[in-house]
């Protein structure tokens, strides 16, 4: 065979294309059968990523709820509280404020028990800020109901426990004392009511306690009148 004929035939061979079925058959023999799941996976990949992101976000938010002042996730905890508070009806906000103040006291109590000195200043700042907010909202209340009285007493008791652990009084402005505001409001309300002789006696003692700045004792007596 001449050299020219050889190259001409080789050129023709290059132009030949194998059948599609034969190509896939050969590929399967060499690599094995192709898994269908691999074709579907790219479609689900964004969904898996989104689900993973949601789970991660949920985990972060749950962890943030246990965060204490001075910790990295604490601002996220406060942000969650602010959003929840903003969505509440106006009439429920004073009670919600009291619950938040109780949370700040619980945080202080935990920090004091663990003796985490570095976290005390931010925790005290958070407490003071909440006291001011609670006081503003309580003064706007048209009527102090039993739930508010009970919440205020609960806060006062928790506050006393925290003070025992800290070994010092939690400073707050006299005008911003939630217990004083609540008791004063109730005294003004009870002055307008008709009370039985026994109730009048309790009420007079409550007023005496208030005058002596024994606000907790006055609150306990007034709470007994609301039952």
At 48-104, the pLDDT tens digits run 565 655 666 666 667 777 888 988 888 888 988 898 888 988 888 888 889 999 999
The domain containing residue 78 runs over which residues?
A: 47-87
End-to-end alpha carbon distance in the chain: 119
Q: Based on the fold, state whether residues 132 and 197 are members of the same structural domain.
A: yes
Residues 116, 81: one domain? Answer: no
Number of domains the chain contains? 2
Residue 17 lies in a domain: no
The answer to whether residues 72 and 167 belong to one domain is no
Question: Which residues have CB under 8 Å from 119's CB, separation 6+?
Answer: 68, 69, 70, 71, 111
168 and 203 belong to one structural domain: yes
pLDDT at position 38, please?
47
Query: Which tokens sit at 89?
Result: 């009806």
112-154 pLDDT, tens digit each: 888 888 888 999 899 888 888 888 888 877 788 888 888 898 8
Query: What pLDDT band is residue 210 in, cutting at 50, 70 and 90?
Result: very high
Residue 163 CA to residue 77 CA, distance in Å, equals 24
Q: What is the pLDDT of residues 6-58, one digit of tens each?
A: 546 555 555 555 556 655 565 565 555 555 544 555 555 666 565 655 666 66
Q: 153 and 176: one domain?
A: yes
Residues 78 and 167 occupy one common structural domain: no
| Cα–Cα separations (whole angstroms), residue 217 to 17, 38, 201 | 100, 73, 14
171 within a domain of the structure (yes/no): yes
Residue 209 predicted with pLDDT over 70 = yes
- Residues 168 and 136 occupy one common structural domain: yes
153 found inside a domain: yes
Q: What is the pLDDT of residue 34?
A: 55
Q: For position 198, what pLDDT does the model report?
A: 92
At residue 147, the pLDDT reads 86
- Position 144 scores a pLDDT of 83
199 lies in the same domain as 161: yes
Question: Are residues 111 and 83 located together in one domain of the fold?
Answer: no
């Amino acid at each position: 065979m001449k050299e020219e004929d050889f190259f001409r035939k080789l050129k023709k061979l290059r132009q030949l294309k194998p059948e599609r079925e034969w190509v896939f058959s050969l590929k399967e023999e060499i690599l094995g059968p192709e898994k269908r799941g691999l074709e579907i996976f790219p479609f689900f990949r964004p969904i898996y990523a989104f689900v993973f992101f949601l789970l991660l976000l949920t985990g972060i938010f749950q962890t943030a709820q246990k965060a204490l002042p001075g910790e990295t996730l604490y601002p996220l905890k406060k942000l969650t509280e602010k959003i929840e508070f903003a969505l509440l009806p106006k009439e429920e906000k004073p009670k919600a404020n009291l619950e938040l103040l109780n949370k700040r006291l619980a945080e202080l109590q935990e920090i004091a028990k663990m003796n985490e000195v570095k976290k005390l200043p931010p925790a005290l700042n958070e407490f003071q800020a909440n006291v001011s907010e609670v006081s503003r909202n309580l003064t706007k209340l048209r009527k102090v109901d039993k739930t508010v009285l009970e919440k205020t007493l609960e806060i006062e008791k928790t506050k006393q426990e925290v003070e025992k652990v800290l070994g010092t009084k939690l400073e707050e402005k006299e005008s911003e004392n939630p217990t004083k505001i609540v008791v004063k409001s109730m005294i003004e309300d009870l002055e307008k009511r008709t009370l039985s002789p026994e109730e009048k006696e309790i009420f007079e003692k409550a007023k005496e306690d208030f005058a002596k700045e024994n606000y907790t004792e006055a609150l306990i007596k007034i709470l007994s009148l609301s039952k």
